[in-house]
A and B are shown apart, each in its own frame.
Chain A
Amino acid sequence: MSAIQTIPINWYLLLSAVLFSIGILGVLFRRNAIIIFMSIELMLNAVNLLLVAFSTYLSDSKGQVFVFFIMAVAAAEVAVGLAILMSVYRNSKSTDINILSKLKG
C-alpha cells in the first residue's frame, strides 16, 4: 500500500473532474490569452493526475510513462504557444483574444 492508495480512488476522480471543469470554464469564459493558456495546462494536469492514480491502483507503470510524455509535449506546446502570444502582443499591445477577429467571414 503506497501513500497514494491511502486515499480512495473516487476522491482522485472527483478532484480530477473538478480540475478539468475549472480548466474548461477558464478557457470558455476568460478573454485573456495567458489565462486561457493556463487553463489548458490545468486540464492537461487533471488528466495527468488521473493517469497516475489509476497507474498506481492497477499496478501498471504504463500510465506513468504516458504522464511523462504528456509533460514533455505540454512543455513544447507552452514554448510554441508563448512565442505566438508574444508576437500577438507585439502587434496588438494586448492579449485579449476578442481582438483577434480579422478572419471573420
Chain B
Amino acid sequence: MMKLVGLVPILPLIGFLIIGFFGKKMSKGLVGVIGSGVVFAAFAIAVGLFIDIQEHAQKSYTIDFFNWISAGKLSIPFSFLVDPLSSLFLLIITGIGFLIHVYSTAYMHDDEGFSRFFAYLNLFIFFMLLLVLGSNYLIMFVGWEGVGLCSYLLIGFWFKNTAYNNAAKKAFIMNRIGDLGFLLGIILIFVTFGSISYHEVFEQAKSFSSGSPVLTAIALLLFIGAMGKSAQLPLYTWLPDAMAGPTPVSALIHAATMVTAGIYMIARSNILYTLSPDAMAVVSVIGVCTALFAATIGLAQNDIKKVLAYSTVSQLGYMFLALGVGAYTGAVFHVMTHAFFKALLFLGAGSVIHAMSGEQDIRKMGGLKKYIPITQMTFLIGTLAIAGFPGFSGFFSKDEILANAYEHNKVLWFVGILTAGMTTFYMFRLYFLTFKGTFRGTHEQEHHLHESPKAMTIPLIILAVLSLVGGLVGIPAALGGHHFLEEFLKPVFEDSSFRMVHHLSHETEYILMGIAVAVMAIALYFAYKTYVVDKKLPAAEGEELQPIHNLVYKKYLIDELYEFVITKPLNFIGDAFHKVVDNQIVDGIVNGSGYVVNGVSGIIRKVQTGNIGFYVFVMVISIVLILFTQLF
C-alpha cells in the first residue's frame, strides 16, 4: 500500500491537467465525474494507508522518490512521510474534499466556469496533499504556497466582480505576510540544524534544552506563518472576505484544506514548540484572543456565510489554544470534528442560498424549515455539533481542549468557555433566523423555494452523520470511553508527551463538562427566547445601533484600522517614491542619458555632409597625421 502513496497527490494533479486543458470541450457530466473521481481514488488510497498504519507496528514510513535539491551541504530529497498524523489529515482532506466535489457538481451546474472551477478544486486538493505528505519543510512550503495560490484563484473565481477580486488579493497578500515568517523559520531551521527534513530536525532538537532562544525564535517564526494561513489575530481579516468565492470553496477552505495547514504544521513540529514554553504561551494567548474576538463579531453579523466565517476563525482560535497548552491531540481532534461540522454548515448554507436564489442575508430568510427539510435537519445537527451539545462530535473535542486549558491556566479556560457560550448563541441565532418563524423574503423568492438536488443533499447527510458520531473516536476516560485518536496519534507526539498528560481527577472533569453544558444551555435559551419567543429581528440596514453593537457589527473597524495604519501610509510612501524617486530621479537618469546622446549626435552628425570630396580630404589629412605621429 505504501508504494501507492505517490498516487495520492498525483491523481488530483492529473485531474487538474485533464480538466484544465480539455475541460471546455468535455461535457459537464464528464468534468464532474473526472474531478470527483480522482479525489475519490485518492481517498480510497488514503483509507488503505490509514489501515496500514493502524495495523502495523511500524508507525512512520518515509517514501523516497528522487533527490530534489543537492548543493553543497544542502541535500533535500523529494520524499513523503506517512505516519498517523499525515494519514489522518489525508483522510480528512480527500474525504471531505470528495463530498465537496460531489456537492459542487450540482451547486455550480449552471455556472459558465464549471470546468475551470473543478480544475482549481483539484489543484487545491493536490497542493494540500503535498503540504501534508512532504517529509521536509520545503515540500510543505511548496504546498503551503500552492494552497495560497489556489485560494486566490477560487476566491476570485467570479473575476468580473471587482469586490471579489479585491477579496482574493487580500487573501493572497495577507497570506504572503505570514509566509514570509514561515520561510524565515525554515531558513533558521536549516541554519540551526543543517537540515530541514522532519526526522533529522526533531531528532537533533531533542538535545536542546527547554526554552533555548533559537528554538523559541524558530517556533515563533513558524507561528507567524500559521497566523496567516490559519487566520489568527492579527492576520485573520482575509478569511471572512474569502466568502466572495462560491460556497463550496468556502467549505473547502474552512473545513478540509488551507486553514488547517497552520494547525498541521504546528502539530507536526510539536517538539520544537514543546521545548519553547514562551512560544507556547504566545500561541495559546493569540489563539484564545482570536477565539473570543471572532466570536463577538459573529454575534452581530447578518450574512449567513459571514457568521460561519467568523465561527471558523473562532474555532481555529480554539485549536491554537489547544496547541498552546500542549494538547496536540485535542487540536487534531478538533480539526477533524470541525472539518465535519463546518463543511456541513457551509454546504448547508450553500443549499439555503441555492434555495433562496442567491440571497445571503438572514434577515430576509426565516421559516425555511418546511421548504427545505433535509437542509434544515442537517444544518441543525451541524449547529448542535459546533455548539458542543452533549453527544455530538464538537462536545468531545471542545471538552478535551477546555480540560487541558483548565489545567494549564484558569484564565484561558474561562475565556474559552465564554467563547463557547457565544458560539452557541450566534449559531442558534443563525439557525432560528433562517429556519424558524415566518418567511421574510419576497414573493418571488418564496415561490422559488425548493429543496436542493440529491448531489447536494447526500453529501449533507453523510457529513451530518459524521458530525453526529465523529466524536466517538475520542471519548474521554472520565466518561468511561476509550480515546482511540490519542492512542493512534501517540507515536507522533511521543517526544512532547511529558507536557501533554493532564492530571485532572474525574470529578473535576465532570464539573468542567457540567459548566460547559450549562453555559451552552443558557446561551441556547437566550437565543431561543430572543429569536423564537420574542421574534426579534436584527436591525435593518441603516437603522441606528447602540454604540457597542455598532462597533461589533462593523467588525471593530479592524479593516478600517488596517487601512488607516498600514495601507494609507504605505500608499503615501509609495506615492512619494513614485513622484520623487521614480519620476524625478530614475526617469531623470534614463531620459537624461537619452537627451545627452541626442544632443551630442545632433552636433556630430553635421560632419556627415554627403560631400565625397570632403570625405576624401579628411581621409588624406588623417592618413598624413597618422603617418606623422607614427614616424616622429
Give the docked Cα–Cα distance between A24 and B613 (Å): 11
Q: From residue A95, how far is it (CB to closest CB) to chain B in Å?
A: 12
Asked if B612 and A100 sit within 8 Å, CB to CB, the answer is: yes
Cβ-closest 3 pairs across A and B: A101-B610, A104-B610, A105-B608
Residue A28 lies at the interface, judged by CB distance under 8 Å to chain B: yes
Asked if B610 and A103 sit within 8 Å, CB to CB, the answer is: yes
Contact A98 B613, CB 8 Å, known A24-B620, A28-B620: yes
Asked if B611 and A27 sit within 8 Å, CB to CB, the answer is: no
Give the docked Cα–Cα distance between A98 and B615 (Å): 11
Q: From residue A20, how far is it (CB to closest CB) to chain B in Å?
A: 11
What residues of A have a CB within 8 angstroms of the CB of B613 in the complex?
A: 28-29, 31, 97-98
Q: From residue B495, how far is it (CB to closest CB) to chain A in Å?
A: 81
Give the docked Cα–Cα distance between A105 and B610 (Å): 7
What residues of B have a CB within 8 angstroms of the CB of A98 in the complex?
A: 611-613
Asked if A100 and B617 sit within 8 Å, CB to CB, the answer is: no
Q: From residue B623, how far is it (CB to closest CB) to chain A in Å?
A: 10
Residue B536 lies at the interface, judged by CB distance under 8 Å to chain A: no
Interface residues of A in 87-105 (CB under 8 A from B): 97-98, 100-105
Give the docked Cα–Cα distance between A97 and B610 (Å): 10
Contact A105 B617, CB 8 Å, known A98-B612, A100-B612: no
> Per-residue 0/1 for A18-49: is the Cβ within 8 Å of any B Cβ (1 yes, 0 no)?
00000010011101000000000000000000
Give the docked Cα–Cα distance between A105 and B600 (Å): 13
Would you list 29 pairs from A and B whose C-beta atoms are within 8 A, ordered by A residue?
A: A24-B620, A27-B616, A27-B620, A28-B613, A28-B616, A28-B617, A31-B613, A97-B613, A98-B611, A98-B612, A98-B613, A100-B610, A100-B612, A101-B609, A101-B610, A101-B611, A101-B612, A102-B610, A103-B608, A103-B610, A104-B608, A104-B609, A104-B610, A105-B605, A105-B606, A105-B607, A105-B608, A105-B609, A105-B610
What residues of A have a CB within 8 angstroms of the CB of B620 in the complex?
A: 24, 27-28
Give the docked Cα–Cα distance between A31 and B611 (Å): 10
With CB as the reference atom, state the residue of chain A lying closest to B616: A27
The main secondary structure of chain B at its interface with chain A is: helix
Q: Apart from A27-B616, A27-B620, A105-B609, list 8 A-B contacts with CB within 8 A.
A: A29-B613, A31-B613, A98-B612, A98-B613, A101-B609, A104-B610, A105-B606, A105-B607
Give the docked Cα–Cα distance between A34 and B153 (Å): 76
What residues of A have a CB within 8 angstroms of the CB of B609 in the complex?
A: 101, 104-105
Interface residues of B in 586-624 (CB under 8 A from A): 605-613, 616-617, 620
Interface residues of B in 411-426 (CB under 8 A from A): none
What residues of B have a CB within 8 angstroms of the CB of A97 in the complex?
A: 612-613
What residues of A have a CB within 8 angstroms of the CB of B616 in the complex?
A: 27-28
What residues of A have a CB within 8 angstroms of the CB of B610 in the complex?
A: 100-105
Q: From residue A74, how far is it (CB to closest CB) to chain B in Å?
A: 18
Q: From residue A97, how far is it (CB to closest CB) to chain B in Å?
A: 4
What residues of A have a CB within 8 angstroms of the CB of B612 in the complex?
A: 97-98, 100-101
Give the docked Cα–Cα distance between A31 and B617 (Å): 13
Q: From residue B10, how far is it (CB to closest CB) to chain A in Å?
A: 65
With CB as the reference atom, state the residue of chain A lying closest to B608: A105
Q: From residue B241, how far is it (CB to closest CB) to chain A in Å?
A: 62
With CB as the reference atom, state the residue of chain A lying closest to B607: A105
With CB as the reference atom, state the residue of chain B lying closest to A31: B613
What residues of A have a CB within 8 angstroms of the CB of B611 in the complex?
A: 98, 101
With CB as the reference atom, state the residue of chain A lying closest to B605: A105
> Per-residue 0/1 for A63-101: is the Cβ within 8 Å of any B Cβ (1 yes, 0 no)?
000000000000000000000000000000000011011
Give the docked Cα–Cα distance between A98 and B617 (Å): 14
What residues of A have a CB within 8 angstroms of the CB of B608 in the complex?
A: 103-105
Q: From residue A99, how far is it (CB to closest CB) to chain B in Å?
A: 10
With CB as the reference atom, state the residue of chain B lying closest to A101: B610
What residues of A have a CB within 8 angstroms of the CB of B605 in the complex?
A: 105
- The CB with the most chain B CB atoms within 10 A, among A97, A101, A105, is that of A105
Q: From residue A58, how far is it (CB to closest CB) to chain B in Å?
A: 22
Q: From residue B331, how far is it (CB to closest CB) to chain A in Å?
A: 78
Give the docked Cα–Cα distance between A27 and B619 (Å): 11
Q: From residue B483, how far is it (CB to closest CB) to chain A in Å?
A: 91
Q: From residue B226, how far is it (CB to closest CB) to chain A in Å?
A: 68
Give the docked Cα–Cα distance between A28 and B605 (Å): 22
> Per-residue 0/1 for B482-518: is the Cβ within 8 Å of any A Cβ (1 yes, 0 no)?
0000000000000000000000000000000000000
With CB as the reference atom, state the residue of chain B lying closest to A103: B610
Q: From residue A80, how far is it (CB to closest CB) to chain B in Å?
A: 17
What residues of A have a CB within 8 angstroms of the CB of B617 in the complex?
A: 28
